[in-house]
Structures are given as C-alpha cells and as structure tokens.
Amino acid sequence: MKTVFQYGPRLVLLAAGAALLAQGAMAAETGDAAKGKAVYDGTCVFCHGQNGKGEIPGTPDFTKASGPLSQDDSVLIQHITEGFESPGAAMPMPAKGGNPELTDADIRNVLAYLRAQFGHQK
C-alpha cells in the first residue's frame, strides 16, 4: 500500500499545474492591456480620443471617476458588444465600435487597457 509521501512529488506537480491553469484562465478573463491598446488605437480612438475624454460631443469621458469605467465589466462588455447611446450623445456607439472583426478577447483586452490607462479598477 502506498503512502501519501510516495505520492508527494506527483501531488506537488498536480497542484502547480492547477495553479498555472487557473492563472491563465484569469488572465484570459481579464484581458491583456497591451493588446487592448492596439484595439483602442485601431477602433476606439477616433471617437474616444487618445486622452479618453471623447472627441465627439456626448462621448463619455473615461477619465471621470463617475464615468463609464465606474461600471461593472459585464455592463461595459455588453455596451461594447451590442453598442450603446449615452445621454446627450450626437450618435450612438455602434456594436463593437463599428468593427465587426472584434472578438470577445479583443473586447476584454480593450477593457483591460481602458482600466489600466485611465486608472479605474473594478
């Protein structure tokens, strides 16, 4: 009969593997800000501006503490995915910022970039 000590190295490897998988899943869920910057620069910057304050009247200001980044990620992901019209906006943001090529990963990445760049963590 084998004892726990005989399985020790295997248990350590199993636990380490599980921790790495969990870390990878969390990173995939939260997004990659560096990749998100490329998405922002290619899709979002035209309306939201480099400074996040908005280039078009009514475009939400990402730099305000009470602005869109004060909302939960699930709300923001829905707004990005489906489109959204802010009160007072000259026009609504189209689904995926008008870029139908955006993937779910792109959307998570751009949200990670917005939070990193404009300092609002949820």
Q: What is the pLDDT of residues 75-114, one digit of tens each?
A: 999 999 999 998 878 889 999 999 999 999 999 999 999 9
* pLDDT at residue number 104: 97
**What is 31-118's CATH number?**
1.10.760.10
pLDDT at 63 over 70: yes
Percent of the chain with pLDDT strictly greater than 90: 64
pLDDT at 46 over 50: yes
The domain spans of the chain are 1-30, 31-118
* pLDDT at residue number 3: 54
Question: What's the per-residue H, E or C state across the chain?
Answer: CCCHHHHHHHHHHHHHHHHHHHHHHHHHHHCCHHHHHHHHHHHHHHHHCCCCCCCCCCCCCCCCCCCHHHCCHHHHHHHHHHCECCCCCCCCECHHHHCCCCCHHHHHHHHHHHHHHHCCCC
* Residues 6+ positions from 15 with CB-CB distance below 8 Å: none
* pLDDT at residue number 8: 54
